[in-house]
Amino acid sequence: METEMVHPLAKYLREAMMPHIWCSGCGNGIILNCFVQAVDELQMDLNKLVVVSGIGCIGRAAGYVNTNSFHTTHGRPIAFATGVKLANPELEVVIISGDGDLFAIGGNHFIHAARRNIGIKVICANNFNYGMTGGQQGPTTPIEALTTTTPYGNIEHPFNLVHLAAASGATYVARWTTLHVRRLTQSIKKLLQKEGFGFIEVVSPCPEIFGRYNKMRTGLEMMEWFRKASMVENFSDPAKAEITPERIVVGEFVDIGKVSYEKLLYEKIAEINEKKMRW
């Protein structure tokens, strides 16, 4: 009698959507694997888990996970996720999206969701360019990096995402690379258990476009860069955690407690309703 081999994480994925469309050497599969591993270890109720994404390579993750999921318009996953969370605070709402989607067209949504401390969790795949639409320069492209729209080197200063998240009020902020698989998984577990707005940046390889333009033509070459440049500095100053060719500061930067927006909102609604009844 033949025994059917089943992957231990298969129940978290939509098998009909496989194989995935990500390029060879892309880090998105690692990010998705770490996420579902964290969900499995926490034994989360999939009926109460919602995954939201915007447009971009990593946005496909919302279609691959076997849970409630929504693939929204470009730059709008946080706005959509905010509506989901406020409509039903019992749901665990996670955004998995890219640096361009979250911090270019969607940057304003990110800042104010963090400021309000809305209880949504954001995992950002940062591959330093718009990988899906041709490799254009984006809000995290390093200085002097080559892209299809900066063929002579980027002159725009990039966002330091962990500094931006911390300054905006996030209760949990971390950065890892796709090389730090176990640490990333543990960090996602912590993120999913936090109250309020949490953020993890995952520095991810895009060898087919960003890598080729910057002398790293394979996923392994980009991973070697992560290995050489990464420095674990937990709870160091995120303002000093800029990413350079020589230095990628990784670790946890913020882990604080703060009452979430939706909890305060429903307490206020109850208070108003009680006053109305007294009137």
Residue-wise pLDDT for 165-222, tens only, equals 999 999 999 999 999 999 999 999 999 999 999 999 999 999 999 999 999 999 999 9
Question: From CA 267, how far away is CA 269, in angstroms rounded?
Answer: 5
pLDDT in the model for residue 229: 98
Compute the distance between CA of residue 184 and CA of residue 79 in angstroms, rounded to an integer. 25
CB 120 within 8 A of CB 95: yes
* Residue 61, CA distances (Å) to 58, 92, 94 in order: 6, 16, 11
DSSP-derived pairing of the beta strands 49-53 and 120-126 = unpaired
pLDDT digits (tens, 9 = 90+) for 45-56: 999 999 999 999
Full residue range of the structural domain in which residue 262 is found = 11-278
pLDDT, tens digit, 9 for 90 and up, residues 130-166: 999 999 999 999 999 999 999 999 999 999 999 999 9
What length is written for the chain?
279
- Look up residue 211 and give its DSSP letter: I
pTM greater than the 0.75 cutoff:
yes
pLDDT at 276: 81
Closest CA to 125 of 102, 105, 141, 143: 102
What share of the chain has pLDDT > 70, as a percent? 99
How large is the greatest C-alpha to C-alpha distance in the chain, in angstroms? 74
Q: How many structural domains are present in the chain? A: 1
Q: How far apart are CA 143 and CA 157, in angstroms?
A: 6
User: Which pLDDT belongs to residue 5?
Assistant: 80
Per the listing, tokens 């009020």 go with 169
The pLDDT of 81-99, averaged and rounded, is 97
Mean pLDDT of 256-273: 94
- Alpha helices by DSSP H, listed for the chain, are 28-42, 61-64, 77-87, 99-100, 107-116, 161-168, 181-193, 212-213, 219-229, 261-278
pLDDT of 1 > 70? The answer is no
| Higher per-residue pLDDT: 8 or 113 | 113
Q: What is the pLDDT of residue 278?
A: 79
Establish if 105 belongs to a structural domain: yes
* Assigned domain for 5 exists: no
Cβ within 8 Å of residue 265, ≥6 positions away: 86
Q: Is residue 119 part of a domain?
A: yes
Per the domain annotation, does 1 fall within a domain? no
CATH of the domain at 197: 3.40.50.970
Alpha carbons 276 and 279: distance in angstroms, whole number: 5
Question: Which tokens is 108 given?
Answer: 């304003």
Q: Is 171 a domain residue?
A: yes
- Residue 205 domain flag: yes
- Report if residue 2 sits inside a domain: no
DSSP H or E stretch at residue 137: strand 136-137
Q: Residue 279: its pLDDT value, please?
A: 74
Asked if the structure places residue 3 within a domain, the reply is no
pLDDT computed for residue 2 by the predictor: 66
Question: How large is the average pLDDT for residues 19-34?
Answer: 96
- pLDDT, the chain, mean: 95
pLDDT at 4: 74
Residue 49's DSSP bridge partners are: 92
